[in-house]
Amino acid sequence: MASLAQQFTGLRCSPLSSSSRLSRSVSKNFPQNKSASVSPTIVAAVAISSGQTKERLELKKMFEDAYERCRTAPMEGVAFSVDDFAAAIEQYDFNSEIGTRVKGTVFKTDANGALVDISAKSSAYLSVEQACIHRIKHVEEAGIVPGMVEEFVIIGENESDDSLLLSLRNIQYELAWERCRQLQAEDVIVKAKVIGANKGGLVALVEGLRGFVPFSQISSKAAAEELLEKEIPLKFVEVDEEQTKLVLSNRKAVADSQAQLGIGSVVLGVVQSLKPYGAFIDIGGINGLLHVSQISHDRVSDIATVLQPGDTLKVMILSHDRDRGRVSLSTKKLEPTPGDMIRNPKLVFEKAEEMAQTFRQRIAQAEAMARADMLRFQPESGLTLSSDGILGPLGSELPDDGVDLTVDDIPSAVDL
């Protein structure tokens, strides 16, 4: 429509009166019988003037028709209706309610936060306090850099410029509570750092959340100050997001860990302290005693020459008194050759599992031989011992009065 109007208003034609005067002038100066001598230029000008006038009238009529259609039937020929247009606008309408999750792209960061494009009328703002569940000094510490695309939640509006305020921290809190509920359902043991203490117990950080460990649920006899900044094993007792209540137990975690300790198993431990009679080793939240006599086959006169607090080593479980909470450990049984713990502790660490397997096999064989010895007076049992130390059915080639085992047939258990 606009183009028609432009074409219409842009036409420049000679007035009709001028053409009439030109015709009269031509007739006066040139008689009828000499019309063949009229200049071709003048005749052409009259013809052009008539053609432009006709075109101008046609354009004027087209313009008037188009204007009338716009006034009386503006949607005629349009592929969609007004309702369709309104629905399309509503589909892309931005929801700025608090709590709404939106996807945005970070396009600028500074010391205080980040600007985020969320396809709203203005950019949104993410402060450094709302950028992470942990305390950070700059958003880049949480991996927030220009170009990062992430899902945010709207937490408010800046009244000064009507820009929206965003948060990642709230989303991370929701995920942390969900993770804690999952861990509680799976009844797993988690390691958590102690970050504080009060008159009732310890405060530990679990999945970014502050959990409470009552003193009654702590197995260690150490003072609260001694446990600060240390990691301890914990199990979930109560996870209540609505009440923001997270209660944990160190005692339950230690009890479950102790139940999994088997005689002859090899575990990784850290030397906690040295005493004249041995070293206390932390094995996953449980304190075990490595007696001086169980460090090496060779005599150890000074424990400090072999071990130091903070040393990491592999130890074997010798015994476990669950009622008294005592665990006896040994590195002596893991020595490939006597004295390696003193001369080559690295070799003991590398060969620990192999030596422990040999130890367990010798123990199993000794026990089987002992049971077979008891059966020599009980031929009615129908069992005997194979050459591999395995009890089985009594063979026909053996005497009916059982198997006579001498003391020499049983391996010594002194150095087991």
261-359: which CATH architecture?
A: Beta Barrel (2.40)
pTM of the model: 0.50
Please answer whether residues 263 and 319 qualify as being in contact, where contact means their C-beta atoms are separated by less than 8 angstroms.
Answer: yes
Q: What is the pLDDT of residues 187-209, one digit of tens each?
A: 999 999 999 999 899 999 999 99
**What number is the average pLDDT over the span 45-54?**
67
Same fold for the domain at 187-256 and the one at 261-359?
A: yes
When the pLDDT of each residue in the chain is averaged and rounded to a whole number, the result is 78
Give the Cβ contact number of residue 244 at 10 Å: 10
Stated as kind and residue range, the H or E segment containing 375 is helix 352-375
- Give me the half-sphere count of Cα atoms (radius 13 Å) on the Cβ side of residue 96: 16
pLDDT in tens, 136-168: 999 999 999 999 999 999 999 888 887 899 999
Strand locations in 118-200 (E):
124-127, 149-158, 163-167, 190-197
Torsion sign over Cα 116, 118, 121, 127: negative
Percent of the chain with pLDDT over 90: 33
Q: Between residues 228 and 220, which one has the greater pLDDT? A: 228
Q: Cα–Cα distances in Å, from 172 out to 134, 145, 153, 273, 409?
A: 10, 18, 11, 39, 66
Q: What is the CA radius of gyration of the chain?
A: 48
pLDDT tens-digit readout, 335-377: 999 999 999 989 988 888 888 888 888 877 887 887 777 666 5
pLDDT in tens, 272-331: 899 999 999 888 667 889 999 999 999 998 999 999 998 888 998 888 776 666 789 999
Could you please state the CATH topology (level 3) that the domain comprising 100-172 is classified under: OB fold (Dihydrolipoamide Acetyltransferase, E2P) (2.40.50)
Q: Beta strand 124-127 with 113-117: parallel, antiparallel or unpaired?
A: antiparallel
Residue 120 predicted with pLDDT over 70: yes
Q: Provide the residue ranges of all domains of the chain, joining segments of one domain with +.
A: 100-172, 187-256, 261-359
CB neighbourhood size of 26 (10 A): 15
Give the chain's length: 416
Q: pLDDT value at position 323?
A: 65
| Per-residue b or e along 360-378, where b marks 16 or more CB atoms closer than 10 Å to that residue's CB | bebeebbebbeebbebeee
User: What is the second-level CATH architecture of the domain 187-256?
Assistant: Beta Barrel (2.40)
Q: What is the largest CA-CA distance in the chain?
A: 165
Q: Cα separation of 328 and 288, whole Å? A: 6
Mean pLDDT of 52-66: 84
